[in-house]
Amino acid sequence: MASKSERTRQRIVDAANQLFYRKGYNRTSFSDVVEAAEVPRGNIYYYFKTKDEILRAVIRSRLETIRNMLAEWDRTIAEPLDRLERFVRIMYDSTPVLLRSGCPMGSLNTELAKDQPELQLEAKQLFDQFQTWLARQFTDLGYPDEARELSLQLMARGQGLIVVAQVYQDPGFLERGTRELNRWLEELARYA
């Protein structure tokens, strides 16, 4: 069981995670995090001295969540095509939040890349974790030489779908796009 201190720290990280996603990292103030986490301002400094430290904790938390999710898919989904299609389904399953706030990984990386390259390198780990896992799926599907390129294409196509669907507030576009991604994956599996 987590101690009170660990629970308070996690509450801060969870609140910051939601704020960074909804408002953006740069538009979220230290005070916003304090208020959302419902901790006294003085107490937050016990856990984090700067907003950058909070962001690093958020990135670590997101990485752990992704790692656990991918490990679960590896355990429970036997075929690489089915695992790839499960990845694509994230977009469809998350349509309302994606239309409201975009992709949490994409929006954070885009924001940080503009003028905070050192933080963006840390946030890039979120994409790296998916890219490595996706490349393994494409290798298992029968594309060892093209695995990295195919994984990047899948992520890029997904990010593009999310951005356009959000801009036009069109859930149907996202649904049609995910169906097209699945057709592409099934065609790759058929010709492997």
Residues 95-115 pLDDT 10s: 999 999 999 999 999 999 999
The single residue listed with the structure tokens 């720290």 is 9
pLDDT, residue 4, reads 85
**Residues 6+ away with beta carbon under 8 Å from 26:** 111
* pTM across the whole model: 0.95
The DSSP-derived string for 130-184 is HHHHHHHHHHHHT-TTTHHHHHHHHHHHHHHHHHHHHHHT-HHHHHHHHHHHHHH
C-alpha atoms less than 13 angstroms from C-alpha of 31 in its C-beta half-sphere = 1
If pLDDT is split at 50, 70 and 90, which confidence band does 35 have?
very high
**For the domain with range 1-58, which CATH number is right: 1.10.10.60, 1.10.540.10, 3.40.50.720, 1.20.1260.10?**
1.10.10.60
Question: Looking at domain 77-191, which CATH architecture does it have?
Answer: Orthogonal Bundle (1.10)
Backbone angles phi, psi at 55, to 5 degrees: -60, -45
pLDDT at 2 over 90: no
The single residue listed with the structure tokens 């089915």 is 82
Residues 48-93 pLDDT 10s: 999 999 999 999 999 999 999 999 999 999 999 999 999 999 999 9
**Residues 6+ away with beta carbon under 8 Å from 125:** 59, 63
4 three-state secondary structure: helix
The single residue listed with the structure tokens 């901790």 is 39
Q: Are 37 and 11 in contact (CB under 8 A)?
A: yes
Residues 147-158 pLDDT 10s: 999 999 999 999
The single residue listed with the structure tokens 């910051």 is 16
CATH 1.10.10.60 placement within the chain: 1-58
Rounded to an integer, the average pLDDT of 130-148 is 98
CATH 1.10.357.10 placement within the chain: 77-191
